[in-house]
């Protein structure tokens, strides 16, 4: 009768942690920029006296806008680290300010041809 040694975690590969860390390192600029935008927007909205649910939703929108900005920076050949500053700026100014100014710019540039 032979005794076989059983693994404590059969089928578990210890290299999974290394793969997970490599994945996190590859998406770190996106996580950092979106996370910073989220935190800045949340703090700004709560400091202004906004309702918690509205503040969280605005913070999520700012994080998503920051993620959407990253491919645009890459397209124009700008460094990805610039997304952190852009995301922080978007979060500080707020989604409503950004929307109002983009609508005004759209009306000024494109709206005159559509009328």
Q: How many domains does the chain have?
A: 1
Q: What is the pLDDT along the chain (115 residues), one digit of tens a residue?
A: 555 556 566 567 778 888 889 999 999 989 999 999 999 999 999 999 989 999 999 999 999 999 999 999 999 999 988 999 999 999 999 888 989 999 999 988 887 777 6
Q: Of 61, 70, 24, which Cα lies nearest the Cα of 42? A: 61
CA distances from 80 to 32, 36, 38, 69 (A): 11, 14, 18, 10
Q: So what's the pLDDT on residue 75?
A: 94
Does 61 fall in a domain?
yes
Does 4 fall in a domain?
no
Integer Cα distance of 41 and 23 in angstroms: 27
How many Cβ atoms sit within 10 Å of the Cβ of residue 86? 18
Asked if 101 contacts 111 with a C-beta cutoff of 8 angstroms, the reply is: no
The structure's pTM equals 0.74
Domain that holds residue 96: 28-114
Does 1 fall in a domain?
no
Rg (CA), the chain: 22
Does 56 fall in a domain?
yes
Integer Cα distance of 53 and 51 in angstroms: 6
């Amino acid at each position: 009768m032979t005794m076989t040694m059983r693994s404590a975690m059969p089928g578990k590969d210890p290299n999974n942690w290394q793969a997970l860390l490599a994945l996190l390192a590859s998406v770190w600029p996106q996580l950092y920029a979106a996370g910073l935008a989220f935190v800045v927007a949340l703090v700004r909205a709560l400091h202004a006296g906004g309702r918690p649910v509205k503040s969280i939703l605005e913070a999520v929108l700012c994080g998503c806008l920051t993620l959407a900005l990253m491919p645009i920076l890459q397209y124009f050949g700008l460094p990805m680290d610039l997304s952190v500053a852009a995301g922080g700026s978007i979060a500080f100014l707020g989604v409503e300010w950004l929307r109002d100014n983009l609508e005004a710019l759209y009306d000024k540039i494109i709206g005159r041809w559509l009328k």
